Amino acid sequence: MSLGEVRDLAESVLRRFGLGEAHVQAVAETMVAGERDGCASHGIYRLLVCAHTIKTGKVVPDAVPSVHEPSPAIVRIDAGGGFAQLAFELGRPILAEKARRFGLAALAINHCVHFAALWPEVERLAADGLVAFACTPSHAWVAPAGGRLPVFGTNPIAFGWPRPGPHPFVFDFATSAVARGEIELHRREGRPIPLGWGIDPDGNPTTDAQAALAGAMLTFGGHKGSALATMVELLGGPLIGDMTSAESIALDDGAKASPIGGELIIALDPSGFLGSTALDHIARAESLFDQITSQGARLPSQRRYDARKRSLTEGVDIPGPLLEDIRSLID
């Protein structure tokens, strides 16, 4: 499919399910970006998740996000129970302006339904010359290292760093071994998952995607991922007055809708630290990147940027069964 066709399909489904037009645009944008960049777990597969979430009544389809400024360097967007994408669009320019004014600033998105990847957000801020960090809790699906009962969400952490040239340095990953969406895709396609992604309901290591979804997912890097997942719970939960992943899944009450809660985004302006020498120091970072790539290692997001280049000219492959399931939503 061409990216235009992917976008038309996404918009049609979202409209059919009664999402307000501003949300249709903001949500379709991130799904198309996911397909374009080869991030299938957060591409148009999410239309199935999104449609289900709307049907459960757990998201406010026409929510109007509102802006609050609790202190000079902090902007809070109350998403009003709507999807997070529109709230971010509203908050981003305010965050960027504050970061430029104060050297650093934070955006708290509250009361949102969140199913999106975070790299579009940090990439956009980094493209504007800011250093960016974002994180959000989700639903309690992930056991802490040494335990077997879900406590954490899949809790992604994303970071963006501005670079000369078209593409910032960006990484964005779950603090679980993998995003839940990736395990869902394995389940849909009947593929086994690698050991280390999850445990079954009895606490045994499993390669069965369905068993891991029913049991608990595992953090990446053992106790280190567990501590980072805890940090995300704290920053995206109590710090900004929003829900932990355990609270989100309790509120979900078995509906299996997308997570409800908050997101914290921090932006830092290099000029705030360095004044007129900022560009010189940002340029020094390039030698660090060179030391990584010159030995054959790749930078995070390089695969994504390569996929983007291809998709823009060649379009994208969508698995037939997924396309059928999505089209059946509007037939």
* Active-site residue set: 41-42, 182
The amino acid at residue 298 is R
- Strand, helix or coil at 267? strand
Report the site for ligand NDP in 215-274 (rule: CB under 6 A). Answer: 259
Query: Residue 137: CB partners within 8 Å, gap ≥ 6?
Result: 152, 153, 155, 232, 233, 236, 237, 243, 244, 245, 248, 259, 261, 262
**Smaller CB separation from ligand PYC, 154 or 311:** 154
Report the site for ligand NDP in 155-194 (rule: CB under 6 A). Answer: 156, 158, 171-174, 178-179, 182
Give the C-alpha separation, 129 to 162, whole Å.
Answer: 5
Q: Identify what 128 binds: ligand NDP, ligand PYC, none; CB under 5 to 8 Å per kind.
A: none
Directed axis angle between helix 21-36 and helix 3-16, to 10°? 140
Measured from the Cβ of residue 62, the count of other Cβ atoms closer than 10 Å reads 12
Interface with ligand NDP (CB under 6 A), residue total 28
**Smaller CB separation from ligand NDP, 277 or 292:** 292
**Smaller CB separation from ligand NDP, 123 or 269:** 123
Which one of residues 44, 262, 304, 326 is an interface residue with ligand NDP (CB under 6 A)?
A: 304
Window of 2-10, 47-55, 210-218, 295-303 that interacts with ligand NDP by CB under 6 A: 295-303
**Smaller CB separation from ligand PYC, 99 or 117:** 117
Give the C-alpha separation, 91 to 36, whole Å.
Answer: 24
Q: How far is the CB of 174 from ligand PYC (least distance, A)?
A: 6
Give the C-alpha separation, 168 to 124, whole Å.
Answer: 9
Query: Residue 323: CB partners within 8 Å, gap ≥ 6?
Result: none
Residues engaged in binding ligand NDP (CB under 6 A): 39, 41-42, 114-119, 136, 138, 154, 156, 158, 171-174, 178-179, 182, 259, 298, 300-304
